[in-house]
Structure 1
Amino acid sequence: MVRMKGCSIVKAAEPTRKGTLSLSEWDQVGIITHVPTIYFYRPPENWIRSPNKISTTLKESLSRALVAFYPLAGRLRWIGGRRLELNCNNAGVRFVESESVMKLDDFGDFSPSSKYDGLIPTVDYGLPIHELPLFMAQVTKFACGGISLSFVISHAVADGQSSLHFISEWAGLARGEPLKTAPFLDRKVLRAGDPPASQPFCSYHHSEFDKPPLLVGKSDNAEERKKKTTVTILRLTNEQVKTLQYTANECQNSSSRPYTRYETLTAHVWRCACKARKLVKEQPTALGICVDARSRIEPRLPTGYFGNATFDVIATSTAGELVSKPFSFAVRRIREAIEMVTNEYIWSTIEYLKNQKDLTKFQNLHALGSEEGPFYGNPNMGVVSWLRLPMYGLDFGWGKEIYVGPGTHDFDGDSLLISNPSGDGSLVLALCLQVEHMEPFKKHFYDDI
């Protein structure tokens, strides 16, 4: 249904700095593969009538954007201890042009389905890592005149905030505007490339690096990794969100800060997953929570910091406690995990990783088909928040998108919380679960509100 018309390498339009760039510890742990995002547009006729206008505009502006964001045009390479560094060699990014017989109306509400096949650049992880572009884009023209524009960007180079910073600047350049905020590229502010400190900054037990719980009675998670998964989009109205927040906060002390949307919705997802999976009451379960350190670290990271400034912390419980105790219990477990992330804890995390001789066990290689690294599938979950990311209103000159989504996330327990573009307080949950658990999850997700 999708036919490739062309594939090119786009390089920075002007000479850029050459040489190696050290990565921070956060760049090298967790997900180190590519993260997909897809936008759908309905450009006006003057863009559609000119057959190459869209692709030419995108490629020329992308080339200019890479002058400031030149690390994205480089390549990763392995060094000792399963660590990575970035070779800034302007090898370029990949740009794919394709067309499809489908129409935008064929996508309905844009829920994940096989219709997405072929619309997002594929990464060949069978190649050596130093041959893989760090950023790939694909524009697909549909029969109705609509288009999709998708991206995959290496999580070893940028987190969500940094990725959207780059894409937003690219869109501005495409519209003929100057760069608004230059990226801050020196990762030395997070001691990238530095040896471990002679004296530890502070010592904590970093449970986020412990092995996640296994199903009771199992000695490994190999069987769970092999089970077929499915992806869905679930929507909550503003009224439903408020109902959950009211339930979470009704037993709160009046002097305490009310629970946030993220804390509340994440707790709801965690509990529903326990019920859908029919976990026994004594089953330990872990929840991965992604925390942005930009405003928590001292000194604060510079404006436009380009790299990873997020890391996971873990909330734990047993399935029995989560399901049988009041909803506020699960919400409180999540807040306690988030509140651990102080300035001292952040620097301790970096120091802990610096003292590891090998980072293999901290790297999530799902997309590589590896059995190595952490696995947050059954009985565990991960909920990432895109609630504050500026992902909407991306205009390359032909108007804003009609839909934006996270692309495909295909491992059990992975989920994203996204704000509705209408700004009315409604939310979207993009979720991947094992096939046998998805329908029960949907039932609990709505019935338990």
Structure 2
Amino acid sequence: MATVNLKNSQMVKPAETTWTGTVALSEWDQIGTITHVPTIYFYKKSLKLDSGSVLDTLKDSLSRALVHFYPLAGRLRWIGNGRLELDCNAKGVRLIEAESQTKLESLGDFTPSPEYELLVPSVDYTIPIEEIPLLLVQVTRFQCGGISLSFTISHAIVDGQSALHFISEWARIARGEPLSVAPFLDRRVLRAGEPVVGSLEESDDHNHEEFNHPPLLLGQSNNLEERKKKTIVAMLKLSKFQVEKLKNMANESKNAGYTRPFSRYETVTGHVWRCACKARGHMPQQPTALGVCVDSRSRIKPALPLGYFGNATLDVIAISCTGELVSKPLGYAVSKIREAIMAVTSEFIKSGIEFLKKQPSLTKFQDIHALGGTEGPFYGNPNLGVVSWLTLPIYGLDFGWGKEVYMGPGTHDFDGDSLILQNPNEDGGLILALCLQVGHMEAFKKYFYEDIM
């Protein structure tokens, strides 16, 4: 890709005066990924894109959207003990205008690559967190007349569901339509800012393994050497036929105790887990953990209000050893995933919140401290995480110039980090966006397709 030239950068603030003050964040907001998560959309040349008013439309509608979603215009700040709060100060979000000398066609099938870094706003985490915008947007115009529109949004403020709620409402405003669902901004429904109920010594019956250190490669005391190894991203497609075949394989060997068939997500994730173990060449006794992201919105009682704007997802883990995963039928791996998901009851969610409230510090549970450190994110050989975007409204984002020709995750470069998305070009087909070490990717692809046959 030719050089991307940054033409302009500006702060966009809410179009009207919004509430100001500090907001307590929930425990789910403050753990795991508290850095920014990127996504990118590409739009082909059209008459409406040619008008030159793209930036004005985006800027005007963004400022109006921020009136409703004003927490995004604020800033985070540390309050001690690895904890954060949100300062709703209307400082605004960053809007970047760029242009590229290349054409959309040169991007091929849009597989994420290092070149994407030029199309997605970068975030400098060396500056104080109080100065970092929670949302950065970049519009890049290509020589062919098409554009890319990328967002990088703070995961400490929103999860995927809430991020897409904001983006889709912003697009509605840009099209001249009214708000569909207003955001519910009160995080106290997840006990944000409330004190602990019991003492640190008191425990409940729930074993929150997701907060423990994940397994390491046998014989190693940390995963630093593994994390230094170069990674690569692949977008692997599964046809509807392949997905159905995997589901049949999993359900043929499923535990008789399960009445409901395994889902697409559970099945494909179990398949990915087994293939990763094989591709990484693990010894049979190697323990391995799989991170599963579960949405608590309807699982917690009472259910969270419609439009809850914040983090309501939590990561749980399934653990096994490579020997069992690869020697037993697919249904074994998938049943491990089902067990982890089924454990997420309202009581489990509430006890997880209480567990985190009792921690003297949340630092060890946050990815921002892992940037360049030895603690490391959860992912990485011998572990992986598979996040489902299957139910998120990620496609068909229209700001008034038509729908995108491609949407996908931005750059993600942690070994074992992966997403499952719908294939917009094939009903029932899926796409796995996977990051693995370069040395393991070809073997993974081989097992990924051969094991279905």
Q: Into which bin does the TM-score normalised by the smaller protein fall? A: over 0.9
Offset at 1:207?
0.3
Q: Which amino acid aligns with 2:278?
A: K
Partner secondary structure for residue 365 of structure 1:
helix
Change (3 A) 1:350 1:254: closer
Once residues 319 and 258 of structure 2 are traced to their aligned partners in structure 1, the CA distance between those partners, rounded to angstroms, is 26
Structure 2 unaligned spans of 5+: none
Offset at 1:222?
1.2
**TM-superposition CA deviations, 1:166-225 (whole Å, max 9, x none):** 000000000011111110000000000001014779441100011000100111111111
Contact 1:365–1:373, Cα closer than 8 Å, also in 2: no
Q: Which residue of 2 aligns with 1:278?
A: 281
Moved more, 130-139 or 101-110: 101-110
Matching of residue 416 in structure 1 with residue 440 in structure 2: no
Q: Which residue of 1 aligns with 2:193?
A: 193
Q: Which residue of 2 aligns with 1:298?
A: 301
Offset at 1:373?
5.1
Change (3 A) 1:9 1:176: same
Q: Equivalent pairs: percent with the same residue?
A: 65
Q: Which residue of 2 aligns with 1:220?
A: 222
Counterpart mapping for 1:349-428 below 5 A: 349-365=352-368, 368-372=371-375, 374-422=377-425, 424-428=427-431
Matching of residue 429 in structure 1 with residue 440 in structure 2: no
Once residues 383 and 417 of structure 2 are traced to their aligned partners in structure 1, the CA distance between those partners, rounded to angstroms, is 9
Residue of structure 2 aligned with 1:314, choices 291, 312, 317: 317
Partner secondary structure for residue 94 of structure 2:
strand
Partner secondary structure for residue 119 of structure 2:
coil
Once residues 218 and 226 of structure 2 are traced to their aligned partners in structure 1, the CA distance between those partners, rounded to angstroms, is 12
Q: Which amino acid aligns with 1:131?
A: E
Q: Which residue of 2 aligns with 1:261?
A: 264
Contact 1:201–1:347, Cα closer than 8 Å, also in 2: no
Contact 2:157–2:310, Cα closer than 8 Å, also in 1: yes
**TM-superposition CA deviations, 1:245-276 (whole Å, max 9, x none):** 00000133497110000000000110000000
Partner secondary structure for residue 81 of structure 2:
helix
Moved more, 222-231 or 191-200: 191-200
Offset at 1:117?
3.3
Once residues 285 and 114 of structure 2 are traced to their aligned partners in structure 1, the CA distance between those partners, rounded to angstroms, is 38
Once residues 20 and 224 of structure 2 are traced to their aligned partners in structure 1, the CA distance between those partners, rounded to angstroms, is 42
Q: Which residue of 1 aligns with 2:54?
A: 54
Q: Which residue of 2 aligns with 1:341?
A: 344
Q: TM-score, normalising length from structure 2?
A: 0.96
Offset at 1:369?
2.9
Counterpart mapping for 1:101-180 below 5 A: 101-180=101-180
**TM-superposition CA deviations, 1:299-351 (whole Å, max 9, x none):** 00000000000010010000010011111110111101111001110100000
Matching of residue 78 in structure 1 with residue 78 in structure 2: yes
**TM-superposition CA deviations, 1:260-295 (whole Å, max 9, x none):** 000000001100000000000000000000000011
Q: Which amino acid aligns with 1:117?
A: E
Contact 1:360–1:373, Cα closer than 8 Å, also in 2: no
Q: TM-score, normalising length from structure 1?
A: 0.97
Q: Which residue of 2 aligns with 1:207?
A: 209
Q: Which residue of 2 aligns with 1:3?
A: 5
Partner secondary structure for residue 407 of structure 2:
strand
Q: Which residue of 2 aligns with 1:41?
A: 43
Q: Which amino acid aligns with 1:136?
A: L
Change (3 A) 1:164 1:46: closer
Once residues 198 and 218 of structure 1 are traced to their aligned partners in structure 2, the CA distance between those partners, rounded to angstroms, is 37
Moved more, 409-418 or 202-211: 202-211
Contact 1:99–1:141, Cα closer than 8 Å, also in 2: yes
Change (3 A) 1:124 1:255: closer
Q: Which amino acid aligns with 1:35?
A: V
Partner secondary structure for residue 340 of structure 2:
helix
Change (3 A) 1:99 1:274: same
Structure 1 unaligned spans of 5+: none
Moved more, 1-10 or 250-259: 250-259
Partner secondary structure for residue 329 of structure 1:
helix
Once residues 68 and 146 of structure 2 are traced to their aligned partners in structure 1, the CA distance between those partners, rounded to angstroms, is 30
Partner secondary structure for residue 71 of structure 1:
helix
CA RMSD of aligned residues (A): 1.4
Offset at 1:9?
0.4
Partner secondary structure for residue 265 of structure 2:
helix
Residue of structure 2 aligned with 1:20, choices 22, 28, 44: 22
